[in-house]
Amino acid sequence: MVHSEPGPPSEEMSVSMLEALFSRSPVGLHLLDTDLRIVRVNTATPALRGLTSKDVVGRRLQDVYDVVGDDVAALVRDVLDTGVPLRGRVLRARVRNSPVEVRHVEVTALRLDNPRGEALGLAVTGIDVTERERGRCRGRVLDTVRRTVGRSLDAAVTGEELVEAVVPAFADIAVVEVVDAVLRGDEPPLAPLPGDTPLMRTAFRSRHDRPPAAHPVGDVRRLPGPTPFTRALADLRPRVVRLAPDAPWYDVDAPRADAIRSTRAHTLLAAPLTLRGTVLGLLSLYRTGDTPPFDEGDRRLAVELAAHTALCVDNARRFTREHTVAATVQRQLLPREPESHTSLETAYLSLTGVDPGSWYDTIALSGARTALVVGSVAGRGLNAATTMGQLRTVIRSLSAFDLPPDELLARLHDTTAELAHERACRPYGGPLRREMLCADCVYAIHDPLSGSCVMACAGRLSPLVVRPDRTVGVPDAPSGPRLGTVGDTPFGSVAFEVPSGSVLVFTSDPRLTAHLAEHPGPLRMAPEFHDRSLQDLCDAVVYALPPGLAAGDAAMIVARVHSFPADRCATWQLPSEADAVAEARRRAHDRLVAWKVDEETAFNTELIVSELVTNAIRHGTPPVQLRLINDRTLTCEVLDGSAAAPRLRHARTADEGGRGLFIAAQLARAWGTRYSPEGKTIWTEQTLPEDGDDGRVSI
């Protein structure tokens, strides 16, 4: 069978096609003359909704359609003048003098030319794409909410992020209310929500200027019922409600009803914030004025918005709960009040919102010395708080051995490595196993008798020193490895002078130390705080911090140095001879009488002096030195040049000696050995009866 080539369409076919376009095509079609007047329209034209072609033909296009945001006359005139088609332009428009809502119309305009190329007019097509555009708008809103809502672990901020994302893109007014107990980290109540449950309004946003609100943000109140809001919180089903001027539930919640009337809101979409059958809060969306009412597609979108927001609020609740527990544990593990000694006055900075892994401590040492400790464990939550408590306990235990700072940190490093190994051996899949254990710490010992401070650092921590001449400096201490990390770098120590009147500032955050070093304004006022509390200086530091560097992110110790009273310390160099024992006892007696020490304590001290000096002469090497210190306790120290360690033992019945150190230990509250480059020091401490319960001597 032979097929012939199709010929050109007949005139009858062309006319038939045009008639079909104007009578049966779903695409709206307008024919315009060169004056942009409508010559003919088809039955699918949006303008014919409620009108006839006679009402439209002969009118200008801009007189028929009220286009929002664009000049339709200018758009089609440009096509007529240039011949460049306008394709697929989406306009928001509605027919003038018609109650029909604003619709989205996809417009295409083509110029019609005669065979000579002269413009005859325009063909303008319009397709109603309102539902398509609304679907795209809903998709954009949902994408924005998923990207921007929940970036912080704060339920109130989550609400603010939500209302910012949906107004005005999806609603004219948005309100978020969260169960008050959820904001504190408590478990959310099960549905239906009890009527006496208080909710806090955490966020409000409106597209209108100075919109009236039923209640201010931050207001905590119980929702009166029954209303659409309480019903949504009872059955956990979102509701689209047309707001009539005289709705029956207005009398139940008069403030909200007044706000609705004032904003001319015509539709409410109430969606509960729910998760696993529990109620976390409520999302209320309103549309006002000429905005189209919410429909079923909007209701489905609100369900997804509420579900995402509820999950974010619950994450914030869990974080708040864990942080509260960790902060409680931290408060129990940290010292309640700073220890202020005769030569060192200390204060702790307010720790509101502090990282649970940060800690501080002041430890009384022998010889009127004080250890100052600040550190920070990497990580968050309860695990960081408990690890902090372990490290603080280890430091206190090691400090009892009078170790130098660098040696103490070396042993602390070994202990931290053991804890890290225990963590790494936990079962696979546990979150703690994947979290590396490491910490920063600075350990310093202040000696008021020498007017110096010896310090060692693990990590990047280092104190600031404010001297009486107002100079602010950071000691050049060798930075050792972070506690718990792998490495053979040894710890080093540095000694520096701290004259009377100096102020030491220890922080657990190197950023804060760096900021105070670069902006030492409040610290240079430290000498002016000589007669005022250190808490005033702490407040001055906090007030001077920039907003992005809160003091609540670091633990801080502020210490003011005082000179030790010269009449409270006595030192004697003794010859390495047997006669020196009697001389030492006599000098100790005279000094104790001058200090008005009671007879029993004085007798015990003389006996301790006798035994310790005897041991130093017999078993040690010159030089021998005796020192008595009348501080928070009565301290007796005997130094000799030997590094041999003494050993406390119980002498047998027939032994004539060997009881000296045992006797001294029985008479003293505490005793120990301290080593230095010059040799060793054996010390004892006795409680002075007149010191009171805390064992401190006031001067």
pLDDT of 70 reads 76
Structure tokens that stand for 446 in this block: 């202040």
pTM: 0.68
Continuous segment of H or E residues that includes residue 561: strand 556-561
Residue 119, amino acid: A
Please state the rounded mean pLDDT for residues 32-39. Answer: 85
pLDDT of 456 reads 94
Report CA 410 to chain centroid distance, whole Å.
32
pLDDT of 330 reads 74
* Res. 618 pLDDT band, cuts 50 70 90: confident
* C-alpha distances out from residue 329 to 12, 322, 390, Å: 92, 11, 12
- Tell me: the pLDDT tens digits for 71-111? 888 888 888 888 888 888 888 777 665 556 777 888 888 88
- pLDDT of 48 higher than 60: no
pLDDT of 323 reads 78
Higher pLDDT, 127 or 400: 400
Please state the rounded mean pLDDT for residues 492-515. Answer: 87
- pLDDT of 693 higher than 60: no
- Tell me: the pLDDT tens digits for 239-263? 999 988 888 888 888 888 888 888 8
* Res. 232 pLDDT band, cuts 50 70 90: very high
Please state the rounded mean pLDDT for residues 658-676. Answer: 81
Higher pLDDT, 665 or 188: 188
- Tell me: the pLDDT tens digits for 576-602? 888 889 999 999 999 999 999 998 999
- pLDDT of 28 higher than 80: no
pLDDT of 82 reads 87
**CB proximity list for 404: less than 8 A, separation 6 or greater:** 445, 454, 456, 493, 675
* Res. 137 pLDDT band, cuts 50 70 90: confident
Structure tokens that stand for 133 in this block: 């555009």
Residue 671, amino acid: W
Higher pLDDT, 399 or 656: 399
* Res. 698 pLDDT band, cuts 50 70 90: very low
Domain architecture of the chain: domains with CATH: 23-128 (3.30.450.20), 134-322 (3.30.450.40), 335-561 (3.60.40.10), 566-691 (3.30.565.10)
Tell me whether strands 452-458 and 479-480 are parallel, antiparallel or unpaired.
Answer: parallel
Higher pLDDT, 497 or 330: 497
Whether residue 276 contacts residue 178, with contact meaning beta carbons closer than 8 Å, is answered with no
**CB proximity list for 120: less than 8 A, separation 6 or greater:** 33, 34, 112, 113, 114
Mean pLDDT of the chain: 83
pLDDT of 486 reads 77
Tell me whether strands 278-288 and 103-113 are parallel, antiparallel or unpaired.
Answer: unpaired
**CB proximity list for 262: less than 8 A, separation 6 or greater:** 211, 212
pLDDT of 694 reads 41
In the block, tokens 């310093």 appear at 444
- pLDDT of 526 higher than 70: no
Q: Residues for the chain: how many in total?
A: 699
- pLDDT of 654 higher than 50: no
* Res. 343 pLDDT band, cuts 50 70 90: confident
Please state the rounded mean pLDDT for residues 183-207. Answer: 90
- pLDDT of 697 higher than 80: no
